[in-house]
Every structure is written in C-alpha cells, then in structure tokens.
Amino acid sequence: MSPPPVRRRVAVVGTGAIVAGSHLTALQAHADRAELVAAVDVDEGRLAAFRALAGDGVAGYPSMAAMLDAVRPDLVLIGTPPSLHREQTVAALKAGAWVLCEKPLCLSLAEYDEIAAAEDASGAYASVVFQHRYGSGAAHARELIASGELGAPLVAHCQTTWHRDAAYYSVPWRGRWATEGGGPTMGHGIHQYDLLLHLLGEWEEVRGMAARLVHDTESEDVSTALVRFRNGALATVVNSVLSPDETSRIRVDCADATVELTHLYGHRNDDWTYTPARHVAPERAAAWRTPAADVPSSHTAQLGALLDAYDSGVRPPGSGPDARATLEFAAALYKSAFTGCPVRAGEIRPGDPFHAAMHGGHPDWAPKERV
C-alpha cells in the first residue's frame, strides 16, 4: 500500500468573498492533502463568520505576524486587497511558508523583485492565482499548440469585455494606483491575457493604448494592445470594464486549425472549440477533441497543481518566471500606452519609471496629491 499523502498546514489571510467562496472550496476538495489551521482578518465579525463556515479547528488571528509566530504554516493563501500582497507574501516567505496569492501578486516589477529575493533567501515559493491556466481544456489546448499539432500559431485575439458600474468603484481601494495597481489591465483582463501567454509562449513586443472613458478613476477603464510573440504570431488584447454584453474570449488561428474559448469567469471542456482548416483530414481533426476528463478551471485545480509541486519539492506553476512574465506584460502595455512607443520584452529594468510603478510617473496618469 502507498503511504497516505502528506497534509500541509494551511493559513488564509483575508476572509472575504474570494477566500470564503473559492479558496475554502479548494481546500475542502483537497482535504486529504491540506488542512486549514488558521485564518487572519482585521475585521472581527468577518473572521468569526468565516471560522464558523470553515468548521472546527481553525484558529483566528487579528494580524498576519501573530499568526505566523503562533502557527508556522506550510502554505499561506492570500486574499486581501492588492496593496497588501507584496508585504504579506514576503512575510510568509520569510517564515518559510509557500504562498498562493490572489492576482495581482504585487503592484510593480520592483515589488516583484522583493518577492523573488525573499524566495531565494527562504527556499519557499510564491504563486499567483491564475486559475484559467488550469483545468483539462486549457492543458489540452496548450499541449496541441506547443506540439505543433495545430500548425504554427499565426493570429490571436484575447478579449476581456466586462462591465463595472460606479458603485463598484466606490470601494476606496479600487481604481487607484497605490491600492489596486491599475485598472482592468491589472485587475480584470490579466486572467485572460495570462492564459494567452500560457498558450503562445514568450511575447516580444507590445504596442498599447489606454483611456478613461467613463469612470472617475486614477487608472484606465479600457486598454488595448497589439502583441508580437517570439514565435511570430500577432495578437490583439482588449481589457474593458465598459461592456454591457460581458464575455471572456480567446481565439488562436493556427495554420491547421482555429482554437476558441468563450466563457465569462471560468471554463470547462465544452467551452473550447476546434475548427480544422479545409485541408485537414477529418480523422486528424477528430483527435483534437477535448479529453474525456472534464476538469473546470478553478482555484481547486490550481491548488492541486501547487500541492503536487510541494510534494515533489519543485517550483510550482504560476510562480517565478511565469508570474513575472505576466506582470511584465502589464507594465509594457502601460508604458506603451502612456508613452506612445512600442515596448520590447526585457526593456523595463530597474531605473525605468515603469519598473517602479505601472503609471510610470506619467503626468497625465500618475496619482495627484489629495487635498
């Protein structure tokens, strides 16, 4: 008989809707491998409600420092507002815990460098929640594209056209650079273009545009980009919170087939379609059908992948270069949009104002002093 799986001791930081609705579900699905032992929240009422929902044995703490000192967890799940992510991730890493943090992992490439340094010093790893990468449909598509089975990738479209009203932006930390890191480029479309990067690989050049068309925010409420990938493919990316008919969509036209994914906040096998080119034999196209196992994209799927990596002692997916590449894409889109110049991969280094902040200190976009 094989030994039972090791159960990792897990703490959650922040007990709001995303933790109660998605992270707790993921932990319950992996209860044989992960034990929730602690929860942190500055709001006593919210913390008490979460502990009642999570069940017996979950200790409550008003601060992350107190929890780390008392519990020393193996894994910390972070679901707090974005401005807290870098500090909390670094604290968990310094305590020797692995981290799974809601997006964005941090607010700038400079903050990412601090996280990378903490990883190097501790030997622990920090992953960002990009759950759309996970699940059977995404894994199948990536394998077909990477193997060349669909022919060379040529043209792609990535669309996050969502709608958020004024009430959404009445929450104080939303729409501000210092607390959200940006607009839909950082807070909404990042899931979808992360999946695009996951499918197509390294990007080479970005030409972006951004605007505030409706909302009274510091950051943008719509952005677009033209992207050249290292493999030669060209793509368009749209990130919007102004769109009444909401959808999330990726389309990749390869030499032998078009792959399409249409969903809103999550996908299953049936959300993916494969359309063969006219010259492709039917029996070849039949082999592209999605796998029999239907694993939806979810926090559950990503947590499973992270626990697999933990058990194997290897860097988990969605961390390190994976996490940085998506953050660098966001910074490049903003730099191109605000300067009017194309931006190449690797161009934004320490000393570049867009390395320190997504707004790059641009006079039309940087935060104004509040009176």
Q: What is the pLDDT of residue 211?
A: 98
pLDDT digits (tens, 9 = 90+) for 29-57: 999 999 999 999 999 999 999 999 999 89
Select from 123, 120, 28, 41 the least CA-distant residue to 74: 123
Is 256 in contact with 276 (CB distance < 8 Å)?
A: yes
Give 291-310 as a 3 state SS string.
Answer: CCCCCCCCHHHHHHHHHHHH
Q: How far apart are CA 215 and CA 181, in angstroms?
A: 16
- β-pairing, 203-211 vs 153-163, is unpaired
Q: Is the pLDDT of residue 220 over 60?
A: yes
Q: Which two tokens stand for residue 227?
A: 């992207």
**Band of pLDDT at residue 368, cut at 50, 70 and 90:** confident
pLDDT (0 to 100) of residue 2: 63
Residue 370 has pLDDT above 60, yes or no: no
Q: Report the pLDDT value the prediction gives residue 371, as an integer from 0 to 100.
A: 40
E strand or H helix at 366, and its extent? none
Q: For residue range 124-171, what is the model confidence (pLDDT) as tens digits?
A: 999 999 999 999 999 999 999 999 999 999 999 999 999 999 999 999
283 pLDDT more than 50: yes
264 torsion bin: left (phi>0), alpha (psi -120 to 50), beta (else): alpha
* AA identity, residue 119: E
Query: Which of 241, 276, 239, 275 has the alpha carbon at shortest distance from 260?
Result: 275
DSSP 345: T
Q: Would the pLDDT of 257 be above 50? A: yes
% pLDDT > 70, the chain: 98
Contact 138, 297 (CB under 8 A): yes
Give the torsion through C-alpha atoms of 200, 204, 207, 210, to 10 deg. 60
Banded model confidence at residue 5, pLDDT cuts 50, 70, 90: confident
Please compute the mean of the pLDDT values over residues 182-193 and round it to a whole number. Answer: 97
Pairing verdict, β 153-163 and 242-254: antiparallel
Taking only the tens place, the pLDDT of each residue in 74-105 is 999 999 999 999 999 999 999 999 999 999 99
Residue 8: CB atoms within 10 A of its CB come to: 20
Q: What is the pLDDT of residue 6?
A: 87
Helices (H) and strands (E) in the chain, counts: 14, 14
Q: What is the pLDDT of residue 1?
A: 62
What is the arithmetic mean of pLDDT over 3-9? 85
